[in-house]
C-alpha cells in the first residue's frame, strides 16, 4: 500500500495539529476530545474491512443540537486544509517539469514531437497561432467563501516559505506562527454564505482570480513557452502572440437565470474595464521605477520632446490616460457618461507606447531590460487588454424567436412563430441585407422582449475586444443564429460578433452536423463568419439525459461530423467544450480529455469552460495556474500536430453496442422506474441543497417539476453527497456487463490499449467508482429511505459492485486505483474525515425532515456545513 509523500504527510500533520490547538482553545479541551473520539472511531472503522460504522453512528447520534456545529466544522475545516496541502504538494512535485514529467510540460512535448520528426517550422507555427481560451463560469459548486479562500492562499504561501532546508529556527518559528494565526482566523470565520451572491458578486470573484493569480501566472508561463520554442525551433514566441486567452460567463450567462439582466451585463463590462486599468496602473508604477535610462531611439525622443528620462515621460502620459480610463469606468457604473477623449477604449492605445519603449531599448543595446517586466506587461496587454476578460453572452433560442415574432406581429407582417424554417430564413436574410431599421421607434415591447433588446444594445455599446461569443442554447435551425445577428444589428452592432450554437441533449448532438451544414449553406452567413465558426458542445445535459457512456460517444461522433462539415465549406471550426468539474459533466484530467478528442477536431484552437471550485483548484495560485497552462497547451499542441488515431471499424461497432445498451439501461431506471424519483429525493439531500447560498442561478429551470427540471449540477451534487455517484456510472455498468458476457473482453482490452477515447473513459469511470462508498450509501438508506424503497437501493448497490468488478477485470487488477496509488491513498486519508460528515449529514437530514420546517438553527447550520465539507472532501462536486 503506497503511503503519502513524506512532505505531504508532514504538511497535513502540521496543519491538523494547529487546527487541533485552535479547537482546544475555543470552544475548549472537552470539544477537542469529542472531535478526536469521532475521528478515531472513523479511523478504526475504516481499518476493519467489514466495519459497520455502528460506533461512529452512535457517537454522532448522541450529539445534542448545540454540539453539532463545532464538531461538523472541525471535520469540514480539516478537509479544506488537506486540500490546501495537496494543492501545494502538486506544485512542489512539478517544480522541475523538464526532469520529472516531460510528457505533460510544453518543453517536454515540443522535444518529443521534434524527436518524432515534426518540423521546427510546423511546431513554431502551431504555437504561434494557437488559441486556447479559458471561459470562467459561475456555476454554483464553489462552496468555500471568498474570505476563506484568501486565507487558504496565504497558508499555501506559508507552506512554500517553510519548504526549504536553510531556514533559521527563528524564521521557521515565524512562518509557523503566521500559519497558526491564519488557521485560527479561518476556524473563527463563518464558512457558510447566508445570502446568495449576485451575478455581479460572481463576476468580481472572477476578476479576483485574474488579479491574484492569472495576472502573474500568464506572463511567467509565456516566458517558459518562449524559452522552450527557442530550444526546439530556434525562434521565440512573438510578443503579439496570445496562445492563451481568458473569457467569462459571469454576468453574461442569462439562460435560465433571471438575475442576469442587461443592466448587470453592462455593469460587469464596466467593472472589468476598471479592473484592467487598475492592474495596468500597478504595472506602470513598477515600470517607471525600472526604466530610468536616458538613451532612447529617435522615435521615442521625438515623442516625448527630448525629455531627460524619455521612458518615464512616455509612461507618465500612459499612466494619466489609464487613470482617466479607470475614473470614467467607475463613473459609468453609476450612470451613463460619455467617455472623454483621454479615455482608452482600444487596447492598441495601450500596446503602442509599451511597444515603442520595448523597441527603443532593443535598439539601444538594452534588450535584457526590454525583456524584463516590460515584456510581461506587453504580453498582458495583448492577452488581457483593456477589457481584462472577454464576456460571453448566453441566451435561449426561443427568447430571440419570441422577440422577432413580436416585432413582426406589430408591423403586421405575419405570424413569425408559425412560419416554417425556409420562410424564417428568407425573412431574416432580407432584413439583414436591408439598410432600413426593422425595430419601430414608437413601440412598447413586452418586458421579456425589451430585456432581449436591451441586452443587444449593451453589447453594441462596447468594443469588440470586450466581448467573446454569443452562445445560443437550444439552437436547432439556421434561423436561431440569424435572429441573433439581426437583433444585434438593429441595436447598432458594427462588428461581426461570434454567434455560437450550443448542442446539449442527445437529440441536439445527433442533429448538430445537419444544423451546421444548413447554416453554412447560406452564402450570406458564410461571408459573415469570415471563415471562422465556433460550436459549443454541452456535457452536462447530455449526460443527465442519456447517461455518461452514451453522452461521451455522442459528443465524440458529433465532433467528428462537425469537423467534416466545416472542412467541406472551408471554414475553420473551434469547438467550445462546456465541461464541468465532475466526470458526469465532462470533467477529469484536462490533458487526457483533449488528447482523446477525434482527430482533426482540435486544430490549433479550443475553448473550454472552467467552473465553480475547479477554477480555484486549477488557477487559484500562480504556480498552480502555470501548471494548468502547461497541461492544456501541451495537449492542444499534440492533438493538433499528432492527433489520436482514427478508431477502427470494430471499435466503432462496439461503442455503438455499448452506448445503446447503456442508454437503454440508464433511461430504464431514471425515466421509467416509478420509485426512482422518490428514492432520489429521500436518499440524497437534493431538496435541502437549496439552503446553500451557492450561486445566483436557481437550482431548477422551472420552479416545479421532477428530475427532468433539475439542473445537471445539483443532480450530480446530490448523488455525490451520499457517495452513490450514480450519474457517472449508471448505464456503463450494464453495457460492460453485457459486452463481457458476450465474450468481447479481448476487443475491449484492445480498445483500452490503443484508443485514447475509450481508455480515458474507463479511467474516468474507475476514478468515480473509487469515490463511491457502499457503506455510506447503506447508512443514508437506513436513516432516510422508506422501507418499501430499499429494494431499489440494494439493486443499485449491486449494480455498482458489478461495475467495480468489471472495471478491475478489464484493467487486470484486484482493486481500484492500483495504477494510481497516490490518489488511492489520498482518498483513504480523506475518508477518516469525510465519514463523520456523511454520518452527521444523514443524522441531520433525518432531524430536519422530522421537524417539518421547525428545525433548530444549529441543526440547519450544521447541515449546511456537512454539505460544504463533503464537497471539499470529494473535490469535484458538480
Closest CA to 876 of 580, 591, 608: 580
Evaluate whether 647 touches 761 at the Cβ level (below 8 Å): no
Instruction: Report the DSSP pairing between strands 605-611 and 572-578.
Output: parallel
Distance CA 106, CA 661 (A): 40
Contacts of 62 (CB under 8 A, 6+ apart): none
Dihedral, CA of residue 608, residue 609, residue 615 and residue 621, to nearest 10: 30
Find how far residue 649's CA is from the centre of its chain: 34
Residue written as cell 453527497?
A: 721
Dmax over CA atoms of the chain, in Å, equals: 89
The string of DSSP letters for 165-191 reads TT--HHHHHHHHHHHHHHHHHHHTS--
544 is catalytic: yes
What's the grid cell of residue 641?
500536430
d(C-alpha 689, C-alpha 842), whole Å: 14
From 89, 94, 124, 139, the catalytic residue: 139
Of the residues 151, 382, 544, 618, only one is catalytic, namely 544
Residue closest to 357 by CA, chosen among 301, 285, 319: 301
- Structure-block grid coordinates of residue 628: 494548468
Count how many Cα atoms sit within 13 Å of the Cα of residue 351 in the half-sphere of its side chain: 16
Dist. CA 386–CA 273, nearest whole Å = 6
- How does DSSP assign 445-480, residue by residue? --HHHHHHHHHHHHHHHS-GGGEEEEEEET--SHHH
CB-based burial label for 64 (10 Å; 0-12, 13-18, 19+): exposed
Q: Which residues of 576-595 are buried (b: 16+ CB within 10 A; e: fewer)?
A: bbbbbbbbbbbbbebbebbb
Query: Minimal CA–CA distance to 57: which of 854, 875, 853, 842?
Result: 842
Comparing CA positions, the residue from 421, 649, 640, 396 lying closest to residue 514 is 421
**Catalytic annotation on 151?**
no
Which value, in Å, is the radius of gyration of the alpha carbons in the chain? Answer: 28
**CA–CA gap between residue 100 and residue 118 (Å, rounded):** 23
Q: What is the crossing angle of helices 756-771 and 548-568, to 10°?
A: 150
How far lies 464's CA from each of 385, 391, 451, 874, in Å?
12, 10, 21, 40
**Whether 661 contacts 738, CB under 8 Å:** yes
Which residues are annotated as catalytic?
139, 544
Amino acid at each position: 500500500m503506497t503511503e503519502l509523500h513524506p512532505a505531504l504527510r508532514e504538511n497535513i500533520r502540521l496543519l491538523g495539529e494547529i487546527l487541533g490547538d485552535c479547537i482546544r482553545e475555543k470552544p475548549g479541551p472537552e470539544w477537542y476530545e469529542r472531535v478526536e473520539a469521532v475521528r478515531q472511531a472513523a479511523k478504526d472503522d475504516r481499518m476493519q474491512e467489514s466495519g459497520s460504522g455502528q460506533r461512529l453512528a452512535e457517537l454522532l447520534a448522541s450529539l445534542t443540537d448545540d454540539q453539532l456545529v463545532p464538531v461538523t466544522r472541525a471535520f469540514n475545516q480539516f478537509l479544506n486544509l488537506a486540500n490546501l496541502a495537496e494543492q501545494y504538494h502538486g506544485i512542489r512535485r512539478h517544480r522541475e517539469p523538464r526532469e520529472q514529467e516531460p510528457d505533460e510540460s510544453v518543453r517536454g512535448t515540443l522535444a518529443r514531437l521534434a524527436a518524432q520528426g515534426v518540423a521546427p517550422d510546423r511546431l513554431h507555427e502551431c504555437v504561434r497561432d494557437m488559441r486556447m481560451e479559458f471561459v470562467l463560469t459561475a456555476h454554483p459548486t464553489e462552496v468555500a467563501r471568498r474570505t476563506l479562500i484568501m486565507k487558504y492562499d496565504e497558508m499555501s504561501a506559508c507552506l512554500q516559505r517553510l519548504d526549504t532546508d536553510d531556514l533559521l529556527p527563528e524564521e521557521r518559528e515565524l512562518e509557523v506562527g503566521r500559519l497558526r494565526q491564519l488557521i485560527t482566523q479561518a476556524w473563527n470565520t463563518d464558512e457558510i454564505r447566508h445570502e446568495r451572491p449576485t451575478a455581479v458578486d460572481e463576476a468580481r470573484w472572477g476578476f479576483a482570480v485574474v488579479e491574484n493569480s492569472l495576472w502573474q501566472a500568464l506572463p511567467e508561463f509565456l516566458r517558459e513557452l518562449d524559452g522552450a520554442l527557442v530550444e526546439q525551433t530556434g525562434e521565440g514566441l512573438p510578443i503579439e502572440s496570445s496562445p492563451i486567452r481568458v473569457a467569462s460567463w459571469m454576468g453574461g450567462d442569462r439562460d435560465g437565470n433571471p438575475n442576469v439582466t442587461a443592466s448587470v451585463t453592462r455593469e460587469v463590462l464596466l467593472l472589468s474595464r476598471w479592473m484592467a486599468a487598475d492592474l495596468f496602473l500597478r504595472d506602470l508604477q513598477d515600470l517607471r521605477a525600472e526604466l530610468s535610462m536616458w538613451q532612447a531611439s529617435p522615435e521615442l525622443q521625438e515623442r516625448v520632446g527630448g525629455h531627460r528620462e524619455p521612458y518615464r515621460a512616455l509612461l507618465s502620459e500612459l499612466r494619466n490616460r489609464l487613470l482617466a480610463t479607470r475614473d470614467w469606468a467607475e463613473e459609468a457604473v453609476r450612470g451613463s457618461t460619455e467617455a472623454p477623449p483621454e479615455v482608452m477604449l482600444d487596447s492598441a492605445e495601450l500596446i503602442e507606447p509599451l511597444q515603442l519603449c520595448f523597441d527603443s531599448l532593443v535598439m539601444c543595446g538594452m534588450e535584457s531590460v526590454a525583456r524584463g517586466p516590460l515584456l510581461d506587461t506587453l504580453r498582458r496587454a495583448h492577452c488581457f487588454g483593456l477589457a481584462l476578460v472577454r464576456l460571453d453572452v448566453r441566451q435561449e433560442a426561443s427568447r430571440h424567436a419570441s422577440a422577432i415574432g413580436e416585432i413582426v406581429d406589430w408591423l403586421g407582417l405575419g405570424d413569425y412563430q408559425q412560419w416554417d424554417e425556409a420562410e424564417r430564413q428568407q425573412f431574416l436574410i432580407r432584413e439583414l441585407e436591408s439598410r432600413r431599421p426593422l425595430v419601430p421607434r414608437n413601440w412598447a415591447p413586452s418586458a421579456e422582449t425589451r430585456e432581449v433588446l436591451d441586452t443587444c444594445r449593451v453589447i453594441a455599446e462596447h468594443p469588440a475586444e470586450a466581448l467573446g461569443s454569443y452562445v445560443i442554447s437550444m439552437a436547432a435551425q439556421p434561423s436561431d443564429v440569424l435572429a441573433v445577428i439581426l437583433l444585434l444589428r438593429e441595436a447598432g452592432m458594427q462588428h461581426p460578433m461570434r454567434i455560437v450554437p450550443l448542442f446539449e441533449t442527445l437529440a441536439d448532438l445527433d442533429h448538430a452536423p445537419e444544423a451546421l451544414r444548413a447554416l453554412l449553406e447560406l452564402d450570406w452567413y458564410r461571408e459573415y463568419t469570415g471563415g471562422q465558426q465556433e460550436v459549443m458542445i454541452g456535457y452536462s445535459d447530455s449526460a443527465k439525459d442519456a447517461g455518461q457512456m452514451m453522452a461521451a460517444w455522442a459528443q465524440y461522433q458529433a465532433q467528428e461530423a462537425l469537423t467534416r462539415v466545416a472542412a467541406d465549406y472551408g471554414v475553420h471550426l473551434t469547438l467550445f467544450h462546456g465541461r464541468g468539474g465532475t466526470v458526469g459533466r465532462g470533467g477529469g484530467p484536462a490533458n487526457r480529455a483533449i488528447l482523446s478528442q477525434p482527430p482533426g477536431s482540435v486544430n490549433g484552437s479550443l475553448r473550454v469552460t472552467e467552473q465553480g471550485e475547479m477554477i480555484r483548484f486549477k488557477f487559484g495560485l500562480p504556480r498552480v495556474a502555470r501548471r494548468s497552462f502547461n497541461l492544456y497547451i501541451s495537449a492542444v499542441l499534440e492533438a493538433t500536430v499528432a492527433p489520436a488515431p482514427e478508431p477502427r471499424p470494430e471499435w466503432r461497432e462496439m461503442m455503438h453496442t455499448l452506448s445503446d445498451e447503456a442508454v437503454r439501461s440508464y433511461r430504464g431506471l431514471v425515466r421509467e422506474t416509478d420509485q426512482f424519483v422518490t428514492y432520489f429525493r429521500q436518499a440524497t439531500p437534493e431538496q435541502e441543497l437549496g439552503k446553500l447560498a451557492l450561486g445566483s442561478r436557481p437550482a431548477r429551470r422551472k420552479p416545479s417539476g421532477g428530475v427532468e427540471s433539475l439542473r445537471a449540477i445539483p443532480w450530480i451534487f446530490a448523488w455525490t453527497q451520499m457517495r452513490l455517484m450514480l450519474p457517472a456510472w449508471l448505464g456503463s455498468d450494464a453495457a460492460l456487463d453485457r459486452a463481457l458476457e458476450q465474450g468481447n473482453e479481448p476487443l475491449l482490452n484492445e480498445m483500452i490499449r490503443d484508443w485514447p477515447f475509450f481508455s480515458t473513459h474507463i479511467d474516468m469511470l474507475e476514478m468515480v467508482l473509487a469515490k463511491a462508498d457502499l457503506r455510506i450509501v447503506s447508512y443514508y438508506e437506513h436513516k432516510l429511505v422508506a422501507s418499501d424503497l430499499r429494494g431499489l437501493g440494494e439493486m443499485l448497490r449491486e449494480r455498482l459492485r458489478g461495475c467495480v468488478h468489471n472495471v478491475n477485470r478489464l484493467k487486470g487488477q484486484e482493486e481500484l486505483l492500483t495504477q494510481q496509488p497516490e490518489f488511492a491513498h489520498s482518498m483513504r486519508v480523506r475518508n477518516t474525515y469525510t465519514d463523520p460528515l456523511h454520518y452527521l449529514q444523514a443524522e441531520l437530514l433525518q432531524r430536519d425532515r422530522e421537524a417539518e420546517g421547525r428545525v433548530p438553527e444549529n441543526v440547519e447550520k450544521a447541515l449546511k456545513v456537512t454539505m460544504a465539507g463533503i464537497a471539499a472532501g470529494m473535490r469535484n462536486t458538480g
